[in-house]
Structure 1
């Protein structure tokens, strides 16, 4: 009897702020801007886009537009999103 397989959904693994922070940290370490934007979108969907919009002060449309694969959020949008996640942007030597 074949086993039932479920489609992988990263949102199922982003339940806590610590999991979300680790996910963003891994995305930032990879350095791919498209993946970083998509990772923030994954977290927004895991939290609930409406909730994330209220927390960040961004519109739902802005979240969907900026935080998708190929998205290109502005620095202001990125700062609002990370602040809502309880994170801050920083720079370290490579």
Structure 2
């Protein structure tokens, strides 16, 4: 009996805002810019690339290209896409500062 195997697609599993945030946080923690771009691409596909293209004013083709593991999106594009997806970047210290504020 043949076994049907499909390639796993993260976009199919990003159902809630919490899922999306946890997925992007994990990619950011890894630190690989290609992984971050690909994760944002997965989130974009889960939300709908056509709508994202309309919301950002960018073409679907350029979004697919920029938000792939091989892509290298400009930071402005990343911010525009995150805003359209209802996401924001947030900074937090990686460790507590050693000196006290006076």
TM-score of the superposed pair, with normalisation by structure 1: 0.83
Whole-Å Cα distance in 2 between the matches of residues 68 and 74 of structure 1? Answer: 13
TM superposition shift of 1:86: 1.3
Question: Which structure has the bigger radius of gyration?
Answer: 2
Q: Kindly report the root-mean-square deviation, in angstroms, between the aligned alpha carbons of the 2 structures.
A: 1.9
TM superposition shift of 1:22: 1.6
CA deviation string 1:52-89 (max 9, x = no partner): 21233322122112100121111110100111121212
- Bigger helix share: 1
Superposed structure 1 runs of 4+ greater than 6 Å apart: none
Note the residue ranges of structure 2 that are not aligned, 5 or more in a row.
95-102
Whole-Å Cα distance in 2 between the matches of residues 93 and 13 of structure 1? Answer: 29
Aligned length: 94
Note the residue ranges of structure 1 that are not aligned, 5 or more in a row.
none
Quick check: 74-83 or 57-66, which moved more? 57-66
